[in-house]
Structure 1
Amino acid sequence: MTQTTQTLPAPLPPVLTAAQQTHVVNVLRRAARAEVLPRFRNLAPADIDTKSGPHDLVTAADLAAEAMITRALATAYPDALIIGEEAVSADPALQDKIANAPLAFILDPIDGTSNFAHGLSTFGMILAVTRFGKPAFGVIYDPVNDDWVISDDTSTPRFERALGQSRPLRVSMGKQIEDLSGFVPLGNFSKELRVKVAATLPSFAKVNSLRCSAHEYRTVAQGHADFVLSGTLHPWDHAAGALICAQAGAHVEMLSGGPYDATLRTGHILVAPDKTTWNRLRKVFAFLADD
């Protein structure tokens, strides 16, 4: 009997080289210095506007930073799709292009805009790179402290500082429900669901919302909190953080089942330290699985 040997496909190389990753980080840092930090705690009333509602803010800093970053990426990657949150706000059809893009940059120029607009320093800049919607690279940058977490889908994520300091990231250990701390964005759920989600919160040791996906994902990736549940699925909020947490050892899955990717529009991502803890949390939030 002749045995056949199955040849597995070769793994894809990193979507960005080390030099390209450094370039992307520097693009964010330059935009922060030029367009974001000079406006922090220095916004005039005319610099703040609303989008979908009174709590969905956009500032002159969001618009200027996104324009600067988009120009820099378009120059370096002329064949790539570049999707910014503010560009999608102006033209929602842009988001439809992510699924068919072999290389897409997905950008949130200021995540936590409400915090930024009100002078709170809990905001960040998020950039993800996807292949046909699947996250392949992510960086979450803190402009105030000039540090970032970064990873691609082939390596261990790192916390880095401008002076060359770097350390690997690892999520926390799994725990029982009553010992878990995490992030639940209560205000992002409909009023009907908000009541049900709020009823789960006493089950945990501690639950917060920073109103900033950037810092929530950073905190989980560094092992300082145990889980994060999404209220919405905007890819500029989640693609980078979901990848970084997964590479740091977390179990990342949609509550309805299946992997997360940046093309999804409905559902909820749940990030937990391991599959066992994820399953425990899944039981608590089971009512959201079909939402």
Structure 2
Amino acid sequence: MLDQVAELIREVAHTVVLPRFRHLADSEVQEKAPGDLVTIADQESERALTRGLTALLPGSVVVGEEAVAADPAVRDRVGGGGAVWIVDPVDGTNNFAAGKTPFCVMVALVRDGEPAAAWILDVVADHLTVAEAGSGAYRDGVRVKTRTDNPGAAELRGVVSHKYLPDDLRDQVRANAAGLGGHTNGKHCAGYEYPAIATDEQQFGMFWRILPWDHVPGSLIVREAGGVVRHLDGTEYRPTDHQRGLLVAANADIWQSVHGTLFPGGAPDVEPV
């Protein structure tokens, strides 16, 4: 199954997504919400992946980003029983639409509410990162593991995504992030950020808006590589969660160092969604 899904993702990426890169007409890019784009490649990729995935696993259902945009009730399938595919047909759509990289195709298989497998293809760089629950994480066929030490906050590099943060929390996080070794606002592509933690290119990532297609695939990859994926109150992230705020780290000690630096007064109050 792992190889069959990987082949399907590559096929869709190379026949549907990549040919549209830097060849989109104005009419092929739309705004779903302010600053939130969708392209014809997103739509066609999701349709092709939906057909292929349900054919590979009869009786399964798909929760795709564009299907949820059309009908928010589709997201509720994530918590249903049985096999559910979570699909981000083009992760990093704004990059893709602007003719920039990175952008990815991401898929996760959830069984009875728990992640079972995940695939992230960086389309242009052609890196495929895969994980299976209990079997580890692999990039281009080579097992990857997060770092196991904690050099201290001043030596840690990662992402502090300011997008979607409430104004007061954004100001607090920006000020406190100066205590970290290095931080960026990210590459606006979760499919890039999670594997970067799994391979120690960076050691952490903090995000506010938590949508399953953005975070379920990467969360399994990071955990299978040895990392942790937790909400800001320390609870473990699950695919059905709607709670805002997520801190991803290479290991539990690094999670504590980053969390203590960004939120020295303790976890912020987070309104339920």
TM range (shorter): over 0.9
- Residue type of the partner of 1:100? G
Alignment partner, residue 33 of structure 1: 14
Distance 2:73 2:261 in 1: 35
After TM superposition, the structure 1 = structure 2 runs for residues 11-160 of structure 1, keeping only pairs within 5 Å, are 20-53=1-34, 55-160=35-140
Q: TM-score, normalised by structure 2?
A: 0.93
Residues 209-231 of structure 1 deviation map (CA, whole Å, 9 limit, x = unaligned)? 11110000111111110001122
The structure 2 residue matched to 1:219, chosen from 196, 205, 209, is 196
SS at match of 2:163: helix
SS at match of 1:188: coil
Unaligned runs of at least 5 residues, structure 2: none
SS at match of 1:262: coil
SS at match of 1:51: strand
Unaligned runs of at least 5 residues, structure 1: 1-19, 161-165
Given that 2:177 and 2:261 are in contact with CA atoms closer than 8 Å, whether structure 1 keeps it comes out as no
Distance 1:214 1:288 in 2: 26
Alignment partner, residue 272 of structure 1: 249
Aligned-residue offset at 1:250 = 0.8
Moved over 3 A (4+): 285-289
- Residue type of the partner of 2:201? H
Distance 2:53 2:26 in 1: 30
Alignment partner, residue 269 of structure 2: 290
SS at match of 2:254: helix
Distance 1:244 1:277 in 2: 17
After TM superposition, the structure 1 = structure 2 runs for residues 255-270 of structure 1, keeping only pairs within 5 Å, are 255-270=232-247
SS at match of 2:18: helix
Please identify, of 58-67 and 274-283, the stretch whose mean Cα deviation from structure 2 is larger: 274-283
Alignment partner, residue 195 of structure 1: 171
Aligned-residue offset at 1:269 = 2.0
Greater Cα radius of gyration, structure 1 or 2: 1
Question: What is the percentage of aligned positions where both structures have the same residue?
Answer: 32
Please identify, of 255-264 and 281-290, the stretch whose mean Cα deviation from structure 2 is larger: 281-290
Given that 1:174 and 1:273 are in contact with CA atoms closer than 8 Å, whether structure 2 keeps it comes out as no
Residues 160-207 of structure 1 deviation map (CA, whole Å, 9 limit, x = unaligned)? 1xxxxx211011232211111011111231233222221122111111
Given that 1:80 and 1:101 are in contact with CA atoms closer than 8 Å, whether structure 2 keeps it comes out as no
Alignment partner, residue 171 of structure 1: 146
- Residue type of the partner of 2:142? R
SS at match of 1:255: coil
Distance 1:251 1:190 in 2: 24
Alignment partner, residue 5 of structure 1: none
CA RMSD of aligned residues (A): 1.4
SS at match of 1:207: strand
The structure 2 residue matched to 1:229, chosen from 185, 206, 217, is 206
Given that 2:138 and 2:144 are in contact with CA atoms closer than 8 Å, whether structure 1 keeps it comes out as yes
Q: TM-score, normalised by structure 1?
A: 0.88
Given that 1:267 and 1:290 are in contact with CA atoms closer than 8 Å, whether structure 2 keeps it comes out as no
